[in-house]
Amino acid sequence: MQLTYQCNDCDSIFESEKTEYLCPRCSSKNKPDSPPLGVLRVLYNYAAIKKRSANLLSFLINKDFLPLLPIQNTDSLPFLRVGKTPLYRIKKQSATVFLKDDSLNPTFSFKDRASAIVSAYAKENNIQTIVAASTGNAGSSLAGICAAQNQKAVIFVPAAAPKAKLTQIMMYGAQIVPVAGNYDMAFDLSVEITRKYGFYNRNTAFNPLTIEGKKTVSFEIVQQLNGDVPDKIFVPVGDGVIISGVFKGFEDLLALGIICKMPQIIAVQAKGSSNIIDNLDSETFISNPSKTIADSISVDIPRNFYMAKKFIKKYNGLGLKVSDEEILNASKTLTSMFGVFSEPAASTAYAGFLKLQSQNMIKQNEKVLILLTGSGLKDLNAVQPLLYMPAPVEANIGAVEQFLNLKK
């Protein structure tokens, strides 16, 4: 299948039937301690798509977005239900607030959207082995999707990644490669082995098809809101790929005339890992070591920095930092008030919403959406400070009544 690519940095456009990763011209300038140049985006013939359909929104719904995907047939996708996640309107808020709960994907994270498209492309091109580097979610996602597609997954992970995520990877039958180092080291090793042995690489901000998978959340949001667009969308940000996918999805819909405005998309990062927000107005990228409980968005060198920055600047986005304490409190609120248990990285988005709300920056007539990207079961250790497990009670009704402070 011939695809059209555009480089994020030099804007050059080219077509190719081969597997493409980075722009050859810009990627030659890359340095180990900086975000990569040459990240590609996939373009479509929007005029031809518009010409083929009189009712574009209906067309996209009925065709599972195929005209805007880099695959030839939806039958190439895994049989697992990826996407189509619920959109909850929550009460107890002054504005109209929605939670988009992507923890209900097959491996319990947003990353399944990207893995499904990468796997489908591999299937259509007779590729059997897919490699990825991950702090946990992308790795468990690829492992699960590959299990469903009868493909081999090789996952490079920092050895210190949460046990629940490493367990998932191994249970799905993938080959796990624990690295004595951080995510960036795992990433570099996965790229090196890809080049040496010709494996297919799923890495975000390296494989342009990951953004094509992640952008489907924007299509679903418009569907679920009956063609409407939220005023604000809060997105947890680490590498910058998810937020770029959200922007790309809405940009595709703008190009087709399905929507008429871009929502304000708010990049929320942990204060201990805010290398995208801290560099939005800088000429030279400077990385600070990351330290946050939100491991899924803890990144020293955000791989998709330049694309995320470009989208945020172009469409009047906003960067917002929240503390680990705010993240944990947001997780507790989501769980106890709404019954949605999100991992710290996902709860970061809700913490950002609460912060802006406390500053009176959310208007009562606005529609606001919080993107929740992973299940709280992914990282149980992080929320232990919020919990108190009482001592066991004796197995008799009197002891229970005393424990519950009930009156006879």
* Least-confidence region, from 162-166, 224-228, 342-346: 162-166
Contact 142, 169 (CB under 8 A): no
CA–CA gap between residue 156 and residue 175 (Å, rounded): 9
Residue 136's pLDDT is what? 77
Ramachandran bin of 38, using left for φ above 0, alpha for ψ from -120 to 50, beta for the remaining angles: left
Give the closest residue to 108 by CA, choosing from 133, 136, 148, 134. Answer: 136
Domains belonging to the chain, first-starting first, are 87-108+210-386 (3.40.50.1100)
Q: Which amino acid would we find at residue 217?
A: V
Res. 249 pLDDT band, cuts 50 70 90 = very high
The residue assigned the tokens 């994907």 is: 105
Give the closest residue to 243 by CA, choosing from 323, 309, 322. Answer: 309
Is 0.85 surpassed by the pTM of this model? yes
Residue 135's pLDDT is what? 79
Residue 92's pLDDT is what? 66
114-149 per-position pLDDT tens digit: 999 999 999 999 999 999 998 778 999 999 999 999
Res. 50 pLDDT band, cuts 50 70 90 = confident
338-378 per-position pLDDT tens digit: 999 999 999 999 999 999 999 999 998 899 999 999 999 88
CA–CA gap between residue 376 and residue 295 (Å, rounded): 12
Residue 54's pLDDT is what? 64
Q: Name every residue whose Cβ is closer than 8 Å to that of residue 121 and which is 6 or more positions away in sequence.
A: 70, 71, 76, 127, 209
Contact 150, 179 (CB under 8 A): no
Residue 395's pLDDT is what? 94
Question: If you average pLDDT over residues 253-278, what whole number do you get?
Answer: 96
pLDDT, averaged across the chain: 93
Residue 59's pLDDT is what? 64
Residue 63's pLDDT is what? 66
Question: If you average pLDDT over residues 304-330, what whole number do you get?
Answer: 97
Three-state DSSP class for residue 29: coil
CA–CA gap between residue 148 and residue 361 (Å, rounded): 44
Q: With 90 as the cut, is the pLDDT of residue 159 above it?
A: no
Long-range CB pairs of 253-261, under 8 A, 24+ apart, other chains included:
253/218, 253/219, 253/222, 255/44, 255/46, 256/46, 256/49, 256/50, 256/56, 257/50, 257/56, 258/56, 258/57, 258/60, 258/222, 258/227, 259/222, 259/227, 259/229, 261/229
CA–CA gap between residue 402 and residue 408 (Å, rounded): 10
